[in-house]
Chains A and B, each alone.
Chain A
Amino acid sequence: MISIQNISYTYPKKKTMTLAPISLSIATGEFVSILGPSGCGKTTLANILAGYFKPQAGEILIDGKMVKKSGKNRIVMNQENDLFAWMTVWEQMKLVTSDESQIFHYLKLVGLEEYKSYYPKALSGGMKKRVSLARALVVHPDFLILDEPFDSLDEKMKSSLHTELNRIFTVTKKTIVLITHDIDEAIFLSDRVIVLGNNPTAVIHQFAINFPHPREMKIQATKKFTDYRVMIAESYR
């Protein structure tokens, strides 16, 4: 269980609070999406969760233990390409773990075991994301933070990675926090969608998404999916 208790943050040299006190709970093995308008503090929250920013108030507890610094227990995947250009896929994995059987396992999980000697420049945008995901999973973090990870990809690749991520989530049951502004992405992937409001930042709505895992793209054509989309879009206003 991840417990975020009254976290707030103000950027240095800024007078207004970017993230007003906010509290959330995320169950182990849950996939939670955090949706919100631009500037509501989603990425700031992701940076605090990752341990990159130290909140001025509040605390984060993982299974009752307070966490402060960044570390292997919570790994972030960003929108940017976060692979090292000079390392092959295998070397990216070896940088973070020496357990070769685990490296094989996770490269196989993301379908890239044949590409272990490739440099990032030889991989597509989607493949790079899958390497990032495998590298994140191989260290067995308590939870993953995905900060708009697929934003830079085209729709086709994005959609394929959504199915891939859902399959991996179903297999690993890893706790995942997805920061996004894409309502369809949030509904398709999540067990719960949290909608943040602006000025001040606050949880304005939470929606439980009741589709079983693994999910297929065709659920997006169902009335239930459309209903979720309408409800969430309405809550934005």
Chain B
Amino acid sequence: MKKISFIIGILIVYQLYVMVGDTRGYFPSLSQLVGTIVEVMSSSDIYVHMGASVLRVMVGFSLAGIVGIALGLFLATNSRFSELKTGIELLRPIPPIAWIPIAIILFGLGNASAYFIVFLGAFFPIFTNTYFGASTIPLLYKRITSSFEVPLGTYIVKILIPYTLPYIFTGLKIGIGMAWMSVIASELIGAQSGLGYYIQMNRIMLQTDNIMIGMILIGLIGTLVQKMIEYLEKRIIVWS
């Protein structure tokens, strides 16, 4: 009920702004916006852009998940490779958007660049959370493992990974948000399809209503994917 009231509140404020504050007429009224939504959603064009963005996020995010989790677990359990962790820490503060020129030079305009940018956006939160979680495994668990002579493989699969899972999911939830931000940023600059590209094209043509539809879709798909990860988390971490 609170959520619905909040949304209605925002819509009222928006409509008031359009009626009173938007003297240059850039923003569509709510009724115009609804009309454009119906029109845009009934054409196949928008679904092509949505599909392109979702595919880029899925590919880049999946790669970031696999590499981030594996590397996080590996470095947390192998102090001999601490220099690699230092190297990753040096790269972490660089925002994914700053990598776009490098990505275009390396991979050209297209999917490969976008995958790379999405990967970078999602990798660091996933890696950092996994590494932190695995590093904080209690000494007691290590002692039990050594007393019961649990083999290394069993320790990783049955103790280290389950212990780290809540941290991994925190990383995945932050990572998917970063992945969405990164894909839109990469499409704004270096792509020929996707919701970012759709927004950019409509910006050039001053189609504010279409820009807003692109933004709403980004928000809705991002929330949907976030909810899917939260659902998975609840289904997997049944013991908490």
Q: Enumerate chain A interface residues (CB-CB to B < 8 A).
A: 50-52, 69-72, 74-76, 78, 80, 82, 84-87, 95-96, 119-121, 135, 139
Contact = CB atoms under 8 A, between A and B. Distances in A.
A135 B159 CA distance: 16
A101 to B, nearest CB: 19
Contacts, number: 53
Interface of B: 140-141, 143-144, 146-150, 154, 158-159, 162-163, 165, 237-240
A84 B148 contact: no
B162 A50 contact: no
B150 A86 contact: no
A70 B146 contact: yes
Contact of B239 (A80, A82, A119, A135): A119
Contact of A75 (B148, B165, B237, B239): B148
What 7 A-B pairs are tightest by C-beta distance, nearest first? A86-B162, A96-B148, A86-B239, A70-B146, A119-B239, A70-B147, A85-B239
Looking at B148, B150, B154, which has the most chain A CB atoms within 10 Å of its CB?
A: B148
19 contacts: A70-B143, A70-B147, A72-B147, A74-B147, A75-B147, A76-B143, A84-B141, A84-B159, A84-B163, A86-B163, A86-B237, A86-B239, A87-B158, A87-B162, A87-B239, A95-B150, A96-B150, A119-B239, A139-B148
A221 to B, nearest CB: 37
Given A70-B146, A84-B158, A85-B239, 14 more contacts: A51-B147, A52-B146, A72-B148, A74-B147, A76-B143, A80-B140, A82-B144, A84-B141, A84-B159, A87-B158, A95-B150, A119-B238, A119-B239, A135-B148
A84 B148 CA distance: 14
Contacts of A52: 143, 146
B140 A78 contact: yes
Nearest to B158: A95
Nearest to B155: A95
A139 B144 CA distance: 13
Nearest to B147: A70
Contacts of A72: 147-149
Nearest to B154: A95
Contacts of B147: 50-51, 70-72, 74-76
A92 to B, nearest CB: 10
Contacts of B143: 50, 52, 70, 76
